[in-house]
Amino acid sequence: MTDTIFALSSGRPPAAIALIRVSGPQAIVAVMALAGPLPPPRRAGVRALRDGGRLLDRALVLVFPGPGSATGEDLVEVHAHGGRAVVAAIEAALAGQGLRRAEAGEFTRRALIAGRIDLAEAHGLADLLEAETEAERRAAIDAVEGRVSRAVRGWLDRLAGLSARVEAALDFGDEDDVGGDATLAGVEAAAQALAAELRTVLTAPSVERLRDGIRVVIGGPPNAGKSTLFNLLAEREAAIVSPVAGTTRDRIEAHVVRGGVGYLLVDTAGLTETSDPVEAIGVDRAEAAITTADLLLWLADDAPPPVASALWVHARADLPGRTVTPEGPDAVVARSAPDSVDALWNRIAAATEDQSVTSDSLALHEQQRRACSIAVDALGRDGGGDAVLLAENLRVAHRSLAGIIGIDATEAMLDSLFGRFCIGK
């Protein structure tokens, strides 16, 4: 028998309101023991909560009978006052009836087991709870609202249909109403089209990249003003600034959110030849950071190194004689004036625009992206017109994509095969 669980589902007290959720076969009975007769399903009612005749609190109570609840089983919500003592008293009264405290994520796990949500939606809910930027929030909402799941189910439907056509060619290829080689050629073309669509999906940033932020590395020689610019962009004194060359010996990082997008700013040691072993380590780490940067802000009079994306920033522009000429760096001048810093941020946003999530892009977790990559590889294999090999490639792709939403790919494929197509006579 499934345990009945309870947990505080709102923020840590003290707070104005504390939401305590109770889920399981004894949820309604347990809350009735505290509140007496409960309000009708999905209607809030004020009830006095008592434990052994002792008044604990007056709270709003809502009942959600299973299986139509969030967890798929009887669920009761108690909206009480958010003091620590109130919450502790209600939880103690529930525990005294044999209910147990929920484990981390257990309500969502029960929703998944009950089929109220799928695996992709569960991922989205976890992301929504952790979202710190607008880009993360949008991607998480897409997953919670089923956008990822709908896309995956659409791909699975197409694969199931293609598999059914291959099975028809295998079993009934000698009959006139089944196309044989022509059918297989059409299936291969459709599989290639789906693979191309999945490749497009994989060009969007992953959920993990949204969380980590776009990596903006500040590089250049010693005493070029890298730490000064780092502090200006971070809007805080995150790095030590000194006229002494080599002040920064290691990478310094700061997370910044601009326009709903997360950035990871990285200040680095100055690139130089050195015999100091500690400074040499800092130079090596700076070079490594530059090679992995999504965008390099290069503060030097020489051209930036060959990287994927760089902005050549005019270094130490506040010093006399350091004016920008048409032949000089083509980036925004880095000064301490707010409008100059904002202008540089605008250039950074424009240079990294392709690494942000757009309204029509689909952000996937790395695990989900790996599943898509496996499907792309399977669909791209040359089966040489062999129906058996083609069927196996489709099966591999289907099974991999089905794992994204946590369904049994084999069962789903059979259901589609026998439910949609009538291939027997």
pLDDT over 90 percentage in the chain: 37
The pLDDT assigned to 164 comes to 87
Question: What 3-state class would DSSP assign to 64?
Answer: strand
Q: CATH 1.20.120.430 occupies which residues in the chain?
A: 147-204+363-420
- Taking only the tens place, the pLDDT of each residue in 258-307 is 888 889 999 888 777 777 777 777 788 888 888 888 899 988 877 778 88
Residue ranges, comma separated, of all CATH 3.40.50.300 domains in the chain are: 210-355
Q: What is the pLDDT of residues 199-224, one digit of tens each?
A: 999 988 888 888 888 899 998 888 88
Q: What H or E segment, with its residue span, contains residue 144?
A: helix 134-144
Most confident of 47-56, 115-124, 219-228, 313-322: 47-56
Which CATH superfamily groups domain 147-204+363-420?
tRNA modification GTPase MnmE domain 2 (1.20.120.430)
- Residue 284: exposure state from Cβ atoms within 10 A (0-12, 13-18, ≥19): exposed
Task: Calculate the CA dihedral of residues 232, 236, 241, 247 and round it to 10 degrees.
Answer: -110
251 DSSP assignment: -
Percent of the chain with pLDDT over 70: 83
pLDDT, residue 62, reads: 97
pLDDT top residue among 272 and 80: 80
Q: Is the pLDDT of residue 157 over 60?
A: yes
pLDDT for res 268 = 87
User: Any idea which fold 210-355 has?
Assistant: Rossmann fold (3.40.50)
Question: What's the average model confidence in pLDDT over 366-386?
Answer: 89
Average pLDDT over residues 138-151: 90
Residues of the chain with CATH 3.30.1360.120: 5-113
pLDDT at 352 over 90: no
How does DSSP assign 183-246, residue by residue? HHHHHHHHHHHHHHHHHHHHTSPPHHHHHH-EEEEEE-STTSSHHHHHHHHHTS--S---SSTT
Query: Could you tell me the pLDDT band of residue 412, with boundaries at 50, 70 and 90?
Result: low
* 152 confidence band (pLDDT: 50, 70, 90): very high
The per-residue pLDDT for range 303-328, each reduced to its tens digit, is 778 887 888 887 776 666 666 543 44
Q: Mean pLDDT, to the nearest integer, of 106-126?
A: 87
Euclidean distance between CA atoms 17 and 115, whole angstroms: 30
CATH of domain 5-113: 3.30.1360.120
pLDDT value of residue 172: 62
| Residue-level pLDDT at 416 | 43
Q: What is the pLDDT of residue 181?
A: 57
Residue 217 · residue 229 · CB < 8 Å: no
What pLDDT is stored for residue 357 in this prediction? 66
Look-up: residue for tokens 């004020």?
Answer: 46
pLDDT, average across residues 360-370: 87
DSSP 65: -
pLDDT at position 338 over 60: no
Is residue 329 very low, low, confident or very high in pLDDT (cuts 50, 70, 90)?
very low
Average pLDDT, the chain: 82
